[in-house]
Amino acid sequence: MHVLRIISYAKINLTLDVYGIRADGYHDLASVMQAVSLQDELQIYRTESNSISFTCDADPSFNIPADSTNLVVRAAERTLEAIGEKGAGLAIHLDKHIPAQAGLGGGSSDAASAIFGVNQSFGNPLPMSKLSDIGASLGSDVPFFLMGGTAVALGRGEQLIPLLDIPKTWLVIVKPQDAVSTAWAYNLLDNVPNRESHEGTERMAEAIEKEEMDRIISGQCNDFEAPVFDHFPKIAWLHDELRLAGAITAHLCGSGSAVYGVMENESAANRAFHLLKGRYPYTYMAHTLSRNESLPRSEVFE
């Protein structure tokens, strides 16, 4: 039995500019997305059955559905249908470490790995462009995880422009007990009177292309921060704690509730990690990944 093992990486948003609601109900946005080393693992193998079995090892607090409603299963089903193998048998197991409702894109990343892995299981009949289309049909962030690295995301997030890799940057990521629903966060943002976006994405992309690390650090911004911090004082305090622990800058991950701190080096990240781990069980050391490091790939084992 050949088992494919695929790593699913998390992401942070170096910028996140949110604009108006589109005719399709989504928001227009602009973001610089960055793959990071915090990861899940997906294992896929073909079976003689005519269905998809799915199992998951995860912290119970993550509330990961272990049935056909899971995005991984839906991704596998759509990929099989696109290949022309609808009804083929698959067994999928997910080792889940990226926390849910954190703004880290874990569910989307796992879906991207499922799309990639199922396609590979059947000899790669679909080109990457088709895999991205399947991903976009499942969620706005999914196509990014098929590209990896650093990229501008436009539209509802599915239109991607690859950027140069930023220098390896150490992070401490903390997921507090508070959970933030993405739909709730967008609704909250829509109800802020006279709200204006940071509009930081274009400036960030320019700083990355010019390899100006000082601007890459100082230009990070997230439109969700002000309203989310206002409604969740504990998340706002977590941001301050990261700064007090030595972060050069700290920002909300996506729409939250996790917050990441940019650390000066690995030693500083290690110190901050140990300072915060005792108070926040879901505290992680991570670093940014290049496109080559985070591109979907698999290894086969028996």
Residues carrying an active site annotation:
11, 141
Place of tokens 């992070």: 171
Kindly give, in sequence order, each residue whose CB lies less than 8 Å from that of residue 190, ignoring residues fewer than 6 positions away. Answer: 21
User: How far apart, in whole angstroms, are the C-alpha atoms of residue 140 and residue 144?
Assistant: 8
Closest CA to 173 of 284, 38, 96, 267: 284
Task: Measure Cα distances from 281 to 16, 102, 112, 181, 285 in Å.
Answer: 26, 14, 27, 20, 12
Strand, helix or coil for residue 254: coil
Place of tokens 């490091």: 293
209-160-186-198 Cα dihedral, nearest 10 degrees:
20
Q: Which helix (H) or strand (E) holds 5?
A: strand 3-21
Amino acid at residue number 108: S
